[in-house]
Structure 1
Amino acid sequence: MPPATPVDRDLFRQAAARPHEPLRTYHPRRASLGRDRGDALDRLFGRLGFSVHDEAAPFPRTADGMLDTAALFGRTAPVVLEIGPGMGETTAAMAQADPDRDYLAVEVHLPGLANLLLLAERLGLTNLRVAHGDALELARTALAPGSLDAVHAFFPDPWPKARHHKRRLVQPEHVALLRSRLRVGGTLHVATDWVPYAEQMVEVLAADPGLDSAGPVPRPEHRPVTKFEARALATGRASTDVIARRRA
């Protein structure tokens, strides 16, 4: 196998920081990759990843220009979209425990994306791919309606200041977009440890005309406790899960 070509990390940072319309739902962050993560990015991104924004790292497309998930994963299987997997431990664990579905994790934070690639290699995961960039833009421009089995968004940025609430991921127009990409019967699963955001999640998912939502539910066994969540629990902040299903 020829040596991996080091990726141009400045292109990743430029893509993450560029202006977006509508408003960005995440904070672009700068952090050191470290040797192991940098090596994983160089070796694995070209094989297991693509860029939402950069044409230099394209993804396979169907004849109508949508993401070709069968070509991406090398098989036809139900696809789970993971939005903002953080450092990737939860996503890797879920993909490992769920080999009959394919997991596409979309992350803008480069160290997290690189760490997930490293975990995928260490665990020998064949059902995991990563994308760098804005998951909503990917859904809007490249995911076909009805193409997803599930969408997960665990602990998205709560944007606690009132003037920033418009940047939250879980709001009506974003939920409508994500719901349209689900198959009938597919699930949208969100979680947060921020009580005001949990209340908004419950309200928005219940109000969507194409979703059936029972409101807050206990954390399902298939969602591991994240490191972020464990820290919140240690300080007395409980988490809320909300799961909604696309109706016919």
Structure 2
Amino acid sequence: MLHQTTFLTIYILMITFILGCALGSFTDCLAGRMLNGTSVLKGRSHCDACGHVLGVLDLVPLFSRLCLRGRCRYCGAKIPAEAFWTELVSGIACCLIMYRYDVSVLALRGILLWMVLLCLTLTDLHAWIIPDRLQIAGILIFFGTALGLPEPGRQMLRGVLTGAGLAVSMLALSLLFDRLTGKESLGGGDVKLFFVTGLYMRSAWEVLFFLILSCVLGIAGSVIGRREKIPFGPAIAAACFCMLLYGDIWTQWYTGLF
């Protein structure tokens, strides 16, 4: 459907971008409320500085911040740029998913999983926390969308075995590393996240590429941030997203070399 005509492709991607930006705005709010311990379903968005409830025109993704020049309409306090970049990146990510999978169950799975990965990235960056609720959401998304795919039973079994094997392996390596160095390498949330992301890996090659990419991104984050210790969840999430988009393509390319 997406690639039938150029006009249709542009139209669907534009709608997807707008939706993705809105989902990014929601996810940013969700992450903040999770860290604050407030309900996601109760209470309206408000300015953190003056507490004024925000109106509809204050909550339009991307445009509100640009029109207000990054400041609250009511008190003039500066609004953190994180929300703007979260919305923009989310819009682009959703477009990449839609372009890769067209209008399909896999596209729905990808967008829902993206929201989970984005949210846990924000919570881990801000507070070194990966909430169990997000891990559970990732699991439910896998099983729920698997029902709409061919051979759901086989897909579920493969996912569970891959996720469990990956999590157990990383836990064992982490415990060994901790014992040898006397330092903590992986947190409990990271190990759980390996299980969740492992559900979505489609082959042993994808698992290998996923682990390599996770480590590379983690090291890059440490170097760029000039910090000895950084949260590993964002690197795992980013690697999972890359594998979601291109894992099978990379696998076919690599195995085709032999």
TM-score by length of structure 2 reads: 0.30
Larger Rg: 2
TM-score, normalization by structure 1: 0.31
Of Structure 1 and Structure 2, which has the larger fraction of its residues in strand? Answer: 1
